[in-house]
């Protein structure tokens, strides 16, 4: 069974796409937690970061660089937060690794 994100990548479910390349897609979160809340999603399924393997290293780096490029594109010069949830207690709601890019306001600490 496809994950929600696989269905978005395959065009079965609409999404507001900010960026797409061969390795990932960047969409707007449907329940934003900040003025800017994007999801950077690999097109190749990695269920969660704890299940990533050495061969995923380049893809994982690409996700972080893409998030940084999107932050620059959106002029998040004052700062931004990158979050990767892992497992139920980590806040994971979709079993498909993705990077949250949050910005446009000051972030508090601890985050949650």
CATH of the domain at 60: 3.30.428.10
Provide the domain count of the chain: 1
Chain center to CA of 66: 10
98 is catalytic: yes
* pLDDT for res 109: 92
| Structural domain contains residue 111 | no
Q: Is residue 16 part of a domain?
A: yes
Q: Using a cut of 0.85, tell me whether the model's pTM lies above it.
A: yes
pLDDT in tens, the chain (112 residues): 899 999 999 999 999 999 999 999 999 999 999 999 999 999 999 999 999 999 999 999 999 999 999 999 999 999 999 999 999 999 999 999 999 999 999 999 988 6
User: Which position among 19, 28, 37, 98 bears the catalytic label?
Assistant: 98
State residue 17's pLDDT score: 98
Whole-angstrom Cα distance, residue 98 to residue 94?
9
């Amino acid at each position: 069974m496809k994950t929600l994100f696989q269905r978005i990548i395959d065009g079965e479910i609409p999404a507001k796409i900010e960026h797409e390349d061969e390795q990932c897609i960047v969409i707007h979160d449907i329940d934003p937690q900040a003025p800017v809340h994007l999801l950077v999603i690999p097109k190749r399924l990695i269920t969660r970061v704890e299940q990533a393997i050495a061969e995923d290293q380049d893809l994982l780096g690409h996700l972080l660089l893409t998030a940084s490029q999107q932050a620059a594109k959106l002029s998040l010069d004052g700062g931004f937060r990158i979050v990767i949830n892992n497992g139920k207690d980590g806040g994971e709601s979709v079993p498909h690794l993705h990077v949250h890019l949050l910005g446009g306001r000051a972030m508090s600490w601890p985050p949650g």
